[in-house]
A and B are shown apart, each in its own frame.
Chain A
Amino acid sequence: NAGVTQTPKFQVLKTGQSMTLQCAQDMNHNSMYWYRQDPGMGLRLIYYSASEGTTDKGEVPNGYNVSRLNKREFSLRLESAAPSQTSVYFCASRLTGASSGANVLTFGAGSRLTVL
């Protein structure tokens, strides 16, 4: 059981370049999330998808777009990368419903992005 898989693990971009971070989960979870983690700032929500076909902005959405491609996949796109987007990005998923595990986020291993 792979859980949440993120690609790539590392990426270096130049200012103005675009790229897409990929995330896939194999747990049949309904909700998916994209966070960024910066030193001293904790985890901040960029976008989330409560269910297939829906996406909503989080705390720090500027400069990003997302696509919930299907139930398994949730991608994050940087259209024109800026140095302020240098960060570690985490994708997470959650099983919704009334079960005891429904409120727990399962995270991927992270994607470390550097924008020069």
Chain B
Amino acid sequence: EDQVTQSPEALRLQEGESSSLNCSYTVSGLRGLFWYRQDPGKGPEFLFTLYSAGEEKEKERLKATLTKKESFLHITAPKPEDSATYLCAVQISGGSYIPTFGRGTSLIVHP
């Protein structure tokens, strides 16, 4: 069975304290891996798509990387406004487009 596991479930950082979020997956053929950000009371918003091992994407303080088994979302010198839940989703090759979501990592950045 295809699975997506995110860790840690929750992460508290001080402003400026860099860290990484992990998304590990066991799927039979990866079409794409997606990162979304979700603020409290809102719907998820798209951040990145990664398609192949070795690929990296960056946006401000965030950088997403992909290997054959996992993806990392690196947060460099975070600010309080980076506090949110970060969701990972994978799409397998073939069939209908139905991404499978992980349970998310709740990030709180303290000033």
Q: Chain A interface (Cβ within 8 Å of chain B)?
A: 4, 31, 35, 40-45, 48, 50, 56, 58, 90, 92, 94, 96, 103-110
Contact digits for B70-111, partner A, Cβ 8 Å, 1 yes 0 no: 000000000000000001010100001111011110000000
Tell me if A50 and B43 are in contact (CB < 8 A): no
Tell me if B96 and A50 are in contact (CB < 8 A): yes
Tell me if A105 and B99 are in contact (CB < 8 A): yes
A94-B97, A107-B44 known, 15 other contacts, Cβ within 8 Å: A40-B103, A41-B103, A42-B103, A50-B96, A58-B98, A90-B43, A96-B97, A103-B32, A103-B49, A105-B36, A107-B43, A107-B45, A108-B43, A109-B42, A110-B43
Interface size on B, residues (CB 8 A): 22
8 Å CB interface, B26-50 against A: 31-32, 34, 36, 41-46, 49
A-chain residues with CB within 8 Å of residue B103 when the two chains form the complex = 40-42
B-chain residues with CB within 8 Å of residue A105 when the two chains form the complex = 34, 36, 44, 46, 89, 99
B-chain residues with CB within 8 Å of residue A50 when the two chains form the complex = 96-97
Tell me if B98 and A42 are in contact (CB < 8 A): no
A-chain residues with CB within 8 Å of residue B91 when the two chains form the complex = 103
Nearest opposing residue in chain B for A39, CB measure = B103
Tell me if B43 and A42 are in contact (CB < 8 A): no
